[in-house]
C-alpha cells in the first residue's frame, strides 16, 4: 500500500534513500505513467523507494487563480492513480501563499534532501519550481552534486504509437483541451482510461423520471473539475459498492426547457432501477454521441432520448467494460 505523507518534516526518510519525482501530476496520464515506470525501474535497480512530491491543489490556483486550469482529477483520484502506478510514497504538500513564496533552494533542502533522502530525482526536462519558477533541472543538478543525488530531466512520452498518433508530447494541458472540446475518446487515449468526474447525486427538477420517463442521477461535480463540452455522451456510472452501469449522459443546460439554465451532469443508468440520491458516484465518459440541442416539443425530445439510449448501449457494448 502506498504511504501518504503530508508533512515531510514529521516523517522519517525512506530507509536506503529514495528515487523522487515532483509535479502536479494532474490526471496521471500516459506521459506521467511512462515517467513513473522509468523511476520505478531505476529505483528497483538501486534499491530505492519511489516517491512522488505533489500538491493538495494545482499551484496555479494560488499563483494565478483567475487563469488556473480545470483539473482532470481530484486529489483522491490522483492518489489512487499514483498507487496503481506502483509508487511507494507520495508527499502531498499544502500549496498556499507561503509555499508559493518559498525559494527553490529551500524546497529542495526541506523536502528532497531532509524529507526524502533523495538519491535520484527524475523530472520533466522543462520542469520549474519555487518562487518565481526559478528552480529548474540545472539548479536541481547543481544542488544534487553537492548533496549526493543524481538528477535526470526527461522528455514526456508522446502519442506516436497511439491510435490518434501525432508524435506530440502527452500533457495535461493537451488533454484538458480535448475534454473541453468534447473529444473524450481522444482524451481517453492519452489518459490511458476514460476521463472521470466524481460527485454527490443530488435532486434536480425531477423532470427526467416523471415527465420524460428517463430518471437521471444528477451529479454535483466540484467546480474545479474539468467537464466535457455540452452534449450527450455514452459512459459508465460507478456506485460506491464498485458496481458499474452503462449510462447515457447529458452535460448541458436543458435548452428545451430553459434559456441559459444551470449546467448539469445527468446520467441515465441503463437497465437499472433504484435510489441513488446522496451517494458518491463516479462517471466515466467513453464517447460523445451528439451536440446538445433544443427541441420543439417534449415528444421530440423523448424520441431523441430513446435514440440516445440505443446509441449509448451500442457504443458501450462495442467498447467493452472498463478494466
Mean pLDDT along residues 20-48:
95
Three cell numbers written together for 231: 452534449
8 A C-beta contact, residue 287 and residue 184: yes
pLDDT at 220: 96
Q: What is the pTM of this model?
A: 0.92
pLDDT at 323: 64
pLDDT at 214: 83
- Where does the pLDDT of residue 211 fall: very low under 50, low under 70, confident under 90, or very high at 90 and above? low
CATH architecture of 194-319: Beta Barrel (2.40)
CATH topology of domain 3-154: Rossmann fold (3.40.50)
- The domain segmentation of the chain, as residue ranges, is 3-154, 194-319
Residue 22: strand, helix, or coil = strand
pLDDT one-digit tens code per residue, 60-100: 999 999 999 999 999 999 999 999 999 999 999 999 999 99
Instruction: Tell me whether the CATH fold assigned to 3-154 matches the one assigned to 194-319.
Output: no
CA dist., res. 224 & res. 207, Å (int): 27
* Edge-to-edge order in the sheet of strand 89-93: 3-5, 89-93, 49-55, 18-22, 118-124, 150-154
pLDDT at 256: 76
Residue 35: strand, helix, or coil = helix
pLDDT of residue 103 exceeding 90, the answer is yes
Amino acid at each position: 500500500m502506498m504511504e501518504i505523507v503530508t508533512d515531510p518534516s514529521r516523517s522519517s526518510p525512506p530507509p536506503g534513500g529514495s528515487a523522487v519525482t515532483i509535479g502536479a501530476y494532474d490526471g496521471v496520464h500516459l506521459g506521467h505513467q511512462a515517467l513513473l515506470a522509468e523511476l520505478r525501474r531505476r529505483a528497483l535497480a538501486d534499491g530505492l523507494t519511489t516517491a512522488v512530491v505533489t500538491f493538495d491543489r494545482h499551484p496555479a490556483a494560488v499563483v494565478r487563480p483567475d487563469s488556473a486550469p480545470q483539473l482532470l482529477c481530484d486529489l483522491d483520484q490522483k492518489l489512487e492513480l499514483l498507487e496503481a502506478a506502483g509508487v511507494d510514497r507520495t508527499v502531498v504538500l499544502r500549496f498556499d501563499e507561503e509555499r508559493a513564496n518559498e525559494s527553490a533552494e529551500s524546497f529542495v533542502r526541506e523536502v528532497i534532501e531532509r524529507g526524502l533522502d533523495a538519491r535520484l530525482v527524475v523530472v520533466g526536462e522543462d520542469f520549474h519550481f519555487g518562487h518565481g519558477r526559478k528552480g529548474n533541472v540545472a539548479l536541481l543538478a547543481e544542488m544534487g552534486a553537492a548533496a549526493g543525488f543524481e538528477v535526470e530531466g526527461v522528455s514526456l512520452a508522446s502519442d506516436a504509437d497511439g491510435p490518434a498518433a501525432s508524435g506530440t508530447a502527452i500533457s495535461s494541458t493537451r488533454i484538458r483541451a480535448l475534454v473541453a472540446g468534447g473529444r473524450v475518446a481522444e482524451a481517453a487515449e492519452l489518459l490511458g482510461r476514460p476521463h472521470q468526474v466524481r460527485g454527490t447525486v443530488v435532486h434536480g427538477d425531477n423532470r427526467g423520471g416523471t415527465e420524460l420517463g428517463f430518471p437521471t442521477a444528477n451529479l454535483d461535480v466540484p467546480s474545479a473539475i474539468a467537464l466535457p463540452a455540452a452534449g450527450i455522451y455514452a459512459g459508465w456510472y460507478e456506485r460506491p459498492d464498485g458496481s458499474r452501469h452503462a449510462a447515457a449522459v447529458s452535460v448541458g443546460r436543458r435548452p428545451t426547457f430553459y434559456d441559459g439554465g444551470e449546467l448539469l451532469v445527468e446520467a441515465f443508468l441503463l437497465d437499472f432501477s433504484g435510489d441513488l440520491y446522496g451517494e458518491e458516484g463516479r462517471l466515466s465518459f467513453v464517447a460523445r454521441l451528439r451536440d446538445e440541442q433544443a427541441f420543439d416539443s417534449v415528444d421530440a425530445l423523448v424520441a431523441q432520448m430513446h435514440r440516445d439510449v440505443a446509441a449509448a448501449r451500442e457504443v458501450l457494448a462495442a467498447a467493452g467494460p472498463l478494466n
